[in-house]
Amino acid sequence: MMKQLTKSFFLYLGLFLAFALVLSCAQLYVNANALFGSRSSEANYWLTMSKTITPDNIGRKELIGFNDRDIADLKTWKEVKSLYPVVSNDFKVSADGGDFIPFYTDMYLEAVDDDAIDIRDLSAFKVKGNVLPIIISREYLNLYNYGFALNQGLPQITEEFAKKIEVNINLRLKEKNLRYTGRLVGLSDRIHSVLVPKHFLDSINGTQDFSKAHQNIFTRVLVKVNDASDQDLIEKMKQKGYESNQESLRSAKIKSKLFLVLKTIALIGGFIFLLCIFMIVNFIKMQFLEQHEAVSIKYSLGYSPRKMVRSISRFFSINLGIVLLICLGLLSVGQYYLGTAPIANGLLPKFIHIYLWPLVLIVPLVVYVVVNWLIYRWLIKSWKF
């Protein structure tokens, strides 16, 4: 009796560990997606691609930029959902603060389709009269506030105050010079650039003498993908000599390695689970062998072998469901404390994924069917009543 209890204890302990490993990995996968972004087909990651600068293409826009052939090739990549070429100015640009803010700087302008800009309301992003709306990267404002202003003893400025500042934007064109009043309308977290409306930049570029080698050349492209950690995408970029924000790719690599570790742990859990099922089958066989005489008597009294197998399979399936329920309960408690902990910073869900709960019914049912089928086949083939 004690020997049988010991066997049962280790059997269910193994099942508990297997469920704990597999279910924890499934929930960690959900948590990782919450932290790093979902990997579903609806997920969107944005990458700004450019070509790697080498001694062969340095200073040569026709080589360092993306031409029509490169754009067409990128559109065929299955990892790319959509792409938006970034248009740059083909003329000299400078800015100054006039009499109010004594500064002068050469600068650049870029433009991209409105669909790629991460600002919800773009109603003000239109050229009206002599006012040129501008969107800059939020990083630029941060660089000024936390890098330049503090060291130079200049006042820090907020986003709202920055939107009230007007500067002169000077365009030095082939036939004439133009001056616009530049006004900030928003900050972008996605695009590190100085953006103006695309139709405006296209129209000004159209008045300039393009070198034939520079026609339809885009220095960068903004690409929307499902998963920035896709190894196929990273490998294609590497083969083509394309590069992107290294921090984004580094995060993607961390996410990829994390998922690899989770998959490995889940495989180990699955292996332990299958091992436990194997042990259950053999455990049941041993019970039949040890009770051969009792079973034979029951058979002679009219007991059905199938009913006897079903009865013992149902017993193990119910116990399996109880172990699974305990495991999910403990996992729910752990997830709640993790989701409400300050370290989660509100990014993690408080409860385990809802799809884990149906496993309480599905797994025991599947095990019941499989074990019942295997034991009955073995019994019919090997048992002589």
- Ranges of each domain in the chain: 1-39+253-383, 45-226
pLDDT above 70 covers a percentage of the chain that reads 86
pLDDT digits (tens, 9 = 90+) for 117-145: 988 889 999 999 899 999 999 988 888 88
Task: Report the pLDDT value the prediction gives residue 200, as an integer from 0 to 100.
Answer: 92
Task: Report the pLDDT value the prediction gives residue 195, as an integer from 0 to 100.
Answer: 95
φ, ψ of residue 127 to 5 degrees: the values are -75, 120
Higher pLDDT, 242 or 289: 242
pLDDT above 90 covers a percentage of the chain that reads 19
Q: Give the Cα separation of 235 and 249 in Å (integer).
A: 12
Task: Report the pLDDT value the prediction gives residue 275, as an integer from 0 to 100.
Answer: 77
Q: Give the Cα separation of 200 and 87 in Å (integer).
A: 11
φ, ψ of residue 104 to 5 degrees: the values are -150, 140
Higher pLDDT, 190 or 252: 190
User: Residue 176: pLDDT above 90?
Assistant: no
Lay out the sheet containing 92-97: strands in order across: 101-107, 92-97, 166-172, 177-188, 131-137, 194-195, 110-111, 80-88, 220-225, 45-51, 242-243
User: Residue 373: pLDDT above 90?
Assistant: no
Confidence of residue 42 (pLDDT cuts 50, 70, 90): low
User: Residue 336: pLDDT above 60?
Assistant: yes
* Count of residues in the chain: 385
pLDDT digits (tens, 9 = 90+) for 211-255: 555 677 888 999 988 777 677 888 888 888 888 876 666 666 676
pLDDT digits (tens, 9 = 90+) for 86-113: 998 888 999 988 777 777 889 999 999 9
pLDDT digits (tens, 9 = 90+) for 17-30: 878 878 887 888 77
Q: Determine contact, residues 61/217, Cβ cutoff 8 Å.
A: yes
Task: Report the pLDDT value the prediction gives residue 350, as an integer from 0 to 100.
Answer: 86
Task: Report the pLDDT value the prediction gives residue 219, as an integer from 0 to 100.
Answer: 86
Task: Report the pLDDT value the prediction gives residue 132, as an integer from 0 to 100.
Answer: 94
| Residue in 103, 129, 135, 105 with CA at minimum distance from that of residue 181 | 129
Task: Report the pLDDT value the prediction gives residue 366, as an integer from 0 to 100.
Answer: 85
